[in-house]
Chain A
Amino acid sequence: MQEDKLKKLSEIEPPRRSDEARERALHLALDAFDSAQAEKNAATTQGSAGAKRPTSIMDWMKGLFAMENRHALTAVVTGLVLLPLGYFLYQNTALTPIAVGPRAPVDLNLPVEDARGRQDAGGTVATEVTNNQSVADAAERDEFSLAEERPLAEPSPMPVSPPASKMTGIVAPDLMREQAIGNIAVSGESAYDAAASAPAQAPGYIVAPEGTGDQFTSFDDSGVKVVVAEPVSTFSIDVDKASYAYVRQALNQGYLPQADAVRVEELINYFSYDYPLPTDASVPFATDMQIVPSPWDAGKHLLRIGVQGFEIPAGERPAANLVFLIDTSGSMDEPDKLPLLIKSFSMMLDALGPDDKVSIVAYAGSAGTVLDPTPASEKRKILAALRSLSAGGSTAGAEGIELAYQLAEDAHIDDGVNQVILATDGDFNVGLSDPSALTDFIAQKRDEGTFLSVLGFGSGNLNDGIMQALAQNGNGAAYYIDTLREARTVLVDNIATTLVPIAKDVKIQVEFNPAEIAEYRLIGYETRALNREDFNNDKVDAGDVGAGASVTAIYELTPVGSPSVLVDPLRYSNEEATAAPAGDSNELGFFKLRYKLPDEDTSHLIDMPITKDLEVDSLAAADANTRFAVAVASFGQKLRHNVFVDRMSWDQIRDLAAGARGEDADGYRAEFLSLVDLAKGLSAE
Chain B
Amino acid sequence: MDAEATAEIAMDPAKAPELSAELAKRAALGDRLAFSELLDREYDFIFRVAYRWLGNQEQAEDLTQDLCIKLARTVGQFEGRSRFRTWLYRLVLNAARDQHRSAGRSPNTVDIGETEVADPRSADADLEREALWQAVRQLPPRQADSVLLVYAEEKSHAEAAAILGCSESTVSWHVHEAKKALRALL
Binding site for B on A (CB under 8 A): 1, 5-12, 14-15, 17-18, 21-22, 24-26, 28-37, 40, 55, 60, 63-64, 66-67, 70-71, 74, 76-77, 153-155, 314-315, 317, 350-353, 356, 485, 492-493, 495-496, 665-667, 670-671, 674
B residues 26-60 touching A (CB-CB < 8 Å): 27, 30, 32-33, 35-37, 39-40, 43-44, 47-48, 51-52, 55, 57, 60
A6-B132, A29-B65, A71-B3 known; 5 other A-B pairs, CB under 8 Å? A8-B132, A12-B52, A12-B55, A25-B61, A36-B73
Listed by A's residue number, 28 A-B pairs whose Cβ atoms lie within 8 Å are: A1-B178, A1-B179, A1-B183, A6-B132, A6-B147, A9-B133, A9-B147, A10-B153, A11-B125, A12-B129, A15-B115, A17-B47, A26-B36, A29-B39, A30-B72, A33-B32, A33-B35, A33-B72, A37-B30, A60-B32, A67-B33, A71-B3, A76-B36, A352-B106, A353-B106, A356-B106, A495-B102, A667-B73
Closest to B154 in A: A10
- B70 to chain A minimum Cβ distance, whole angstroms, is 6
Residue of B70, B106, B183 with most chain A CB atoms under a 10 A cut-off? B106
Name the contact of B7 in the complex, choosing from A63, A70, A353 (C-beta under 8 A): A70
B79 interface contact, C-beta 8 A: no
By the criterion CB–CB under 8 Å, are A25 and B129 in contact? no
B104 interface contact, C-beta 8 A: yes
How many A-B pairs have beta carbons closer than 8 Å: the answer is 170
Q: How far is the CA of A14 from the CA of B52 in the complex (A)?
A: 7
Q: How far is the CA of A10 from the CA of B51 in the complex (A)?
A: 12
B15 interface contact, C-beta 8 A: no
Q: How far is the CA of A76 from the CA of B186 in the complex (A)?
A: 44
By the criterion CB–CB under 8 Å, are B36 and A9 in contact? no
Residue of B7, B37, B65, B74 with most chain A CB atoms under a 10 A cut-off? B65
Binding site for A on B (CB under 8 A): 3-4, 7, 27, 30, 32-33, 35-37, 39-40, 43-44, 47-48, 51-52, 55, 57, 60-61, 64-66, 68-74, 77, 94, 97-98, 101-108, 112, 115-116, 125, 128-129, 132-133, 136, 147-148, 151-154, 178-180, 182-183, 186
- Could you tell me the dominant secondary structure of chain A's interface residues? helix
- A594 to chain B minimum Cβ distance, whole angstroms, is 30
By the criterion CB–CB under 8 Å, are A25 and B37 in contact? no
Which residues of chain A come closer than 8 Å to B179, judged between CB atoms? 1, 6
Q: What 10 A-B pairs come out closest when comparing CB atoms?
A: A32-B72, A14-B51, A29-B68, A25-B65, A33-B72, A353-B106, A1-B179, A15-B115, A9-B152, A21-B61
Which residues of chain B come closer than 8 Å to A153, judged between CB atoms? 69
Which residues of chain A come closer than 8 Å to B73, judged between CB atoms? 32, 36, 155, 667, 670-671, 674
Which residues of chain A come closer than 8 Å to B69, judged between CB atoms? 25, 28-29, 32, 153-155
Name the contact of A36 in the complex, choosing from B4, B33, B72, B152 (C-beta under 8 A): B72
- B56 to chain A minimum Cβ distance, whole angstroms, is 10
